[in-house]
Amino acid sequence: MARPIADLSLPHFLKVALAENGYKSVEDLATVSPGDLAIELSIGQPQAEDIVRQAHTFQAGPSHLGMQNQLPHTSTASALLHASARTRFSTLSTSIDDLIAHFATVPRSEHATRYNLKGKERTLDVNVGAITPGLVFDLSGPPGSGKTCVSIGVALSARLGDGAEDGGDAAPEVLLIDTEGSITVGRVRAAVEALVEGTSRSVDSVLEGIHLIRVATQVQMVAFLNTVDEWLEAHPKVKLFILDTLSYHFRQPDLDNALRKRLLELVKQAVGKAATVRGCAVIITTQLATKMFTAENKPANFDTGGDRAVLMRQLGDAWTTERTIRIALFRGAGNDELRYAHASTNSTTSSNPALGDVPWASFDIDSFGLPCDVPPPPDDEQLAAQVAAGAA
């Protein structure tokens, strides 16, 4: 008699993901390898190994159940190859990618010492990012901080990564949702033209894999959230889901708290399913709101007066999970024209402690509206060479 997947000791979202991918019984997992299962469900290699190990233990019979946690963790060469070849997206800024790597379990880029500079000095190396399918990001910041620019940069890195040559059929596709009208076809096309200039890649082949949808009203947003899973199922090549910006449809003054809570729960369900079941990396941009506090850290408003004002994420954590990576973008103060990014999670603990403690990164936006790196200051030797060249 076939044993249902529900008998396995797994989190609910993994059972749902297995069912959505056609695994109805333990016997269905008999021939699948951990590497293939990890790619199919967009989960980590250890999780896939645990699922396969449990399935084999159940099939072996009750006498082997006590050995379940004693079986060695093994991987085939094929599984390791698949795991190392998982899709990775870049923000087009090495500093932001390295910042994300502290909270995403990916190795530090071998190109971490290279910098994507402005204009013609930019290097088209988009396969070294830290964003992988299954990760969820809350990208927040005030107007002009670069949220849309970073989102477009990640979208283009997906289309220009490995497999994008000769038509881009093998490159992941992108679902790009625009609520404010800030992402236009002309803007995206201009950014693509800037990146592919001097290469063999065509602009049209990159644009063909970007699905740009305008969601202008709250009713359209609700309809989209209720149907996005079906859309992703019908478009399995889509591995990056970007929504810019979620805050737009929560600004209505007549939106009561009960409806707001239901909508945010709907967002949480849609985002969670897109990441865990459909294997997408999800980036949601949100705005910041000004919160007033008294000297005793009690909430205040402009009518009652407050001692200090703090910029906080407008939608809070209602739609996020413990694994959501929060990235706050902001501009420098005074004459500082640079932009900065700060990353954290609900646990505020780095998943990659070997990379050290780097909670923030600096970056800039080039004339094409794409993220770029800020070159490091010259060291003593370089400074001496510059002085000598100037004297000559």
| Residue 46 parent element (H or E) | helix 45-60
The residue to which tokens 């970056």 are assigned: 363
pLDDT value of residue 234: 92
Provide the whole-model pTM.
0.71
Q: List, as one string, the DSSP characters of 58-76.
A: HHH-GGGGGGGGGS-----
Query: Helix, strand or coil for residue 324?
Result: coil
Higher pLDDT, 82 or 283: 283
CB under 8 Å to 245, separation ≥6 — which residues? 147, 148, 179, 180, 284, 285, 286, 287
Which letter, b or e, does each residue of 207-230 get, where b requires 16 or more Cβ atoms within 10 Å of its Cβ? bebbebeebeebeebbebbeebbe
Higher pLDDT, 230 or 166: 230
Rounded CA separation 38/29 (Å)? 12
Higher pLDDT, 237 or 357: 237
Rounded to an integer, the average pLDDT of 305-315 is 75
Provide, rounded to the nearest whole percent, the portion of the chain with pLDDT above 90: 34
CA angle 77–83–87, rounded 5-degree value: 145
pLDDT value of residue 310: 73
Is the pLDDT at 301 greater than 50? The verdict is yes
pLDDT value of residue 73: 40
Q: Which domains does the chain have, with CATH numbers?
A: 5-82 (1.10.150), 92-372 (3.40.50.300)
By CB neighbour count within 10 A (0-12 exposed, 13-18 middle, 19+ buried), where does 231 fall?
A: middle
* Range with the largest mean pLDDT of 108-112, 287-291, 348-352: 287-291
* pLDDT tens-digit series, residues 198-212: 888 899 999 999 999
Rounded to an integer, the average pLDDT of 283-302 is 81
pLDDT value of residue 43: 74
Rounded CA separation 357/351 (Å)? 11
pLDDT value of residue 116: 53
Rounded to an integer, the average pLDDT of 226-253 is 91
The residue to which tokens 């403690």 are assigned: 357
Cβ(67)–Cβ(20) under 8 Å?
Answer: no
For β-strands 281-286 and 238-244, DSSP reports them as: parallel
pLDDT value of residue 114: 44
Looking from the CA of 66 toward its CB, the CA atoms found within 13 Å total 1
Rounded to an integer, the average pLDDT of 40-69 is 64
Looking from the CA of 350 toward its CB, the CA atoms found within 13 Å total 16
pLDDT value of residue 76: 47
Please give the DSSP secondary-structure letter assigned to residue 23: -
pLDDT value of residue 104: 73
Is the pLDDT at 29 greater than 50? The verdict is yes
Is the pLDDT at 25 greater than 90? The verdict is no
Higher pLDDT, 31 or 371: 371
Confidence of residue 232 (pLDDT cuts 50, 70, 90): very high
By CB neighbour count within 10 A (0-12 exposed, 13-18 middle, 19+ buried), where does 258 fall?
A: exposed
pLDDT value of residue 311: 74
Rounded CA separation 379/359 (Å)? 23
Rounded CA separation 316/355 (Å)? 28
Confidence of residue 37 (pLDDT cuts 50, 70, 90): confident
Rounded CA separation 352/101 (Å)? 7
Instruction: Give, in order, the Cα–Cα distances in Å from 56 to each of 52, 78, 106.
Output: 6, 19, 29
Is the pLDDT at 66 greater than 60? The verdict is no
Higher pLDDT, 80 or 270: 270
Nearest CA-CA partner of 148 in 242, 264, 20: 242
* pLDDT tens-digit series, residues 119-145: 444 555 555 678 999 999 999 999 889
Cβ(355)–Cβ(101) under 8 Å?
Answer: yes
pLDDT value of residue 8: 76
CA dihedral 353, 110, 139, 160 (to 10 degrees): -160
Return the structure tokens found at 314: 């407008």
Query: Helix, strand or coil for residue 93?
Result: coil
Higher pLDDT, 243 or 53: 243
Cβ(321)–Cβ(136) under 8 Å?
Answer: yes
Rounded to an integer, the average pLDDT of 323-338 is 86
Query: Helix, strand or coil for residue 347?
Result: coil
Is the pLDDT at 84 greater than 80? The verdict is no
CA dihedral 217, 218, 222, 225 (to 10 degrees): 70
Instruction: Give the chain's mean pLDDT.
Output: 78
Q: List, as one string, the DSSP characters of 98-123.
A: HHHHTTSS-PPPTTTT----SGGG--
Nearest CA-CA partner of 128 in 149, 118, 114: 114
* pLDDT tens-digit series, residues 148-172: 999 999 999 999 875 554 444 578 9
